[in-house]
Amino acid sequence: MIEIRDLVVRRDGRAVLTIDRLRIERGEVLAVLGPNGAGKTTLLLVLARLLAPERGRVTFQSPTGPITSDLEHRRRISVVMQDPLLLDRSVFDNVAAGLRFRHLAPDVVRRRTEAWLAKLSITHLKDRPGLKLSGGEAQRVALARAFVLEPELLLLDEPFSSLDAGTRQALSAELKRLLAETHTTTVFITHDPAEVRDLATRSLWLDDGRLVSHPA
Amino acid sequence: MVRRARAVRLTLHPGVSRRVNEVFSITVLSLEVSGLATILSLLVGLPLGTVLALGRFRGRAALLSVINTGMGLPPVVVGLAIAMLLWRSGPLGDLRLIYTPWAIILAQWVIAAPVVTGLTAVALQQLDPRLQLQLLGLGASVPHMVLALWREARLPLIAALIAGFGSVISEVGASMMVGGNIRGQTRVLTTAIVLETGKGEFERALALGGLLLLLTFLINLALTLIQQRGARQRGRT
């Protein structure tokens, strides 16, 4: 579904990510592990076409046809970062933001947003300002904002790392349920072995910008 | 627009003096000239400040330094430069703009544009830089992303607008040099105050000064109320 070939990303002249080949199949949930500075977030940004590699290519084979532009590529994926990075708007508007970027009809935006607010159990928060939520609530909104787009590829960059253990466990279970329901192809970065065990169908290890092992 | 301002005449009862009409015309011209200069500076400053805040290109730091220097431009120096440009024998002399309201607008635009540009850049640089990636990662096009960032930075952006307007409504040097303080044509509140003070008419000068302060206060009050309404919405739980 998505394939990386001969990839080199450099920062200040130093190669921070070098991958000869990596293929992610439809429906896979791939965990990416590795120490800090190993290139995990760089890999995610490259997969999202938010960072251009110096060499190599990322091929996205979409069932809906060939992808020609970065914008089109990004409109088939969703990114959830370590911090929720919500906008200074209501929770509803935060969840609806990506749908509005795609110029969907207002009634479609409303219907899909309300459905995902309910699925993440945050309907009661829909009029609250996005910047006035607790960490767990905000990350639920970030997940709803990503899932509402019905992405072909979901990219998660340690989304629960700043939460307390209880909230992290609850959200991890929620994510597991949503991934099972939607069969969304997912790449997620984590340091937590429990998350790998609970969520991933495959894992790979990055060290110093190189893939150390990933079972074929 | 400016011509219309000069043509404004109040229809008051017969006891009201011609001077009231003149003060009214001067006030309207001041607001129109400074308002238009501020709007024009916003049209340039908002996009340029955005490029400076979000772009990564060679010469960016140098350009930011030029803009920051421009934020403190002495109005008389601007007036001198614009006067030389628009002077009958100057490069743009054929346009015959010297000693017209358009010359004042041009000079005030040169004063306000760096203020709006510099403060726009600061406002956007204060946002979390990862927000750009997050917006793009949700499928925002670049224009969508910029609009969303402007909305996130709306409070400091309104402050930039207030600062831009404040820098021109109160300046006198440039308006005097390129406008000439011609009665009924290019006389604005600040140049009128200078004239009355020169004649020793301190009461009139004080009255005009009070009027200028009142107008500036009312416009800033309106902008501040808009700004603080946004701040209250942000703070509401």
Burial class (CB in 10 A: 0-12, 13-18, 19+), A79: buried
Residue B120 lies in a domain: yes
How confident is the model over A10-39, as a mean pLDDT? 93
State the ipTM, two decimals.
Answer: 0.93
How confident is the model over B138-147, as a mean pLDDT? 97
Residue B22 lies in a domain: no
Q: Answer whether residue A154 shows pLDDT above 80.
A: yes
Q: Do residues A127 and A159 touch, judged by C-beta distance below 8 A? A: no
Residue written as tokens 């919405």? Answer: B233
Burial class (CB in 10 A: 0-12, 13-18, 19+), B3: exposed
A128:B148 CB<8 A: no
How confident is the model over B140-144, as a mean pLDDT? 97
Q: Which residues share a beta bridge with A213?
A: A205
Q: Answer whether residue B7 shows pLDDT above 80.
A: no
> Which residues make Cβ contacts (< 8 Å) with residue A119, sequence separation at least 6?
A144, A147, A178
A149 lies within 8 A of chain B by CB: yes
Question: Can you give the CATH number for the domain in which B99 is found?
Answer: 1.10.3720.10
> Which residues make Cβ contacts (< 8 Å) with residue B32, sequence separation at least 6?
B1, B2, B5, B101
A101:B138 CB<8 A: yes
Q: Do residues B105 and B175 touch, judged by C-beta distance below 8 A? A: no
Percent of chain A whose predicted confidence (pLDDT) is above 90 = 81
Instruction: State how far residue B149 is from chain A, nearest Cα, in angstroms.
Output: 9
DSSP notation for B145-186: HHHHHHHHTHHHHHHHHHHHHHHHHT--HHHHHHHTT-TTTT
Residue B8 lies in a domain: no
Q: Say which of B133, B139, B236 has its CB closest to residue A101.
A: B139
Q: Give the residue from A168, A150, A41, A40 showing the smallest Cα distance to A98.
A: A150
**Which of the two residues, A166 and A65, has the higher pLDDT score?**
A166
A48:B137 CB<8 A: yes
> Which of A148-157, B4-13, B30-39, B51-60 comes out lowest in average pLDDT?
B4-13
A77-80 and A29-33: which strand pairing? unpaired
Instruction: State how far residue B179 is from chain A, nearest Cα, in angstroms.
Output: 44
> What is residue B237's predicted lDDT score, i.e. its pLDDT?
38
Per-residue pLDDT band for B14 (boundaries 50, 70, 90) equals low
**Which of the two residues, B131 and A13, has the higher pLDDT score?**
B131
Chain centroid to CA B112: 5
Q: Answer whether residue B6 shows pLDDT above 70.
A: no
Residue B217 lies in a domain: yes
Residue B150 lies in a domain: yes
Residue B103 lies in a domain: yes
Per-residue pLDDT band for B199 (boundaries 50, 70, 90) equals very high
Helix, coil or strand: residue A126:
coil
Determine the Cα–Cα distance for residues B142 and B132; give it in Å rounded to an integer.
Answer: 9
Mutate to test the interface with A, among B126, B134, B144 (most CBs of A within 10 A): B134
> What is residue A216's predicted lDDT score, i.e. its pLDDT?
40
Residue B7 lies in a domain: no
Chain B hits for A71, CB-CB cut-off 8 Å, are: 139, 141
Per-residue pLDDT band for A215 (boundaries 50, 70, 90) equals very low
> What is residue B4's predicted lDDT score, i.e. its pLDDT?
54
Residue B25 lies in a domain: no
Rounded to two decimals, what is the model's pTM?
0.87
List, as ranges, residues 137-156 from B with C-beta within 8 Å of A: 137-141, 144, 148, 151-152
Size of interface A-B (CB pairs under 8 A): 62
> What is residue B119's predicted lDDT score, i.e. its pLDDT?
97
Determine the Cα–Cα distance for residues A74 and B31; give it in Å rounded to an integer.
Answer: 46
Helix, coil or strand: residue A76:
coil
How confident is the model over B43-55, as a mean pLDDT? 97
> Which of A60-69, B17-26, B84-93, B188-197 comes out lowest in average pLDDT?
A60-69
Domain, as residue range, for B135:
33-236
Determine the Cα–Cα distance for residues A10 and B200; give it in Å rounded to an integer.
Answer: 71
B237:A132 CB<8 A: yes
A88:B144 CB<8 A: no
B126 lies within 8 A of chain A by CB: no
Which DSSP letter does residue B236 get? -
Chain A hits for B134, CB-CB cut-off 8 Å, are: 79, 81, 85
Chain B hits for A83, CB-CB cut-off 8 Å, are: 128, 130
Q: How many domains does chain B have?
A: 1
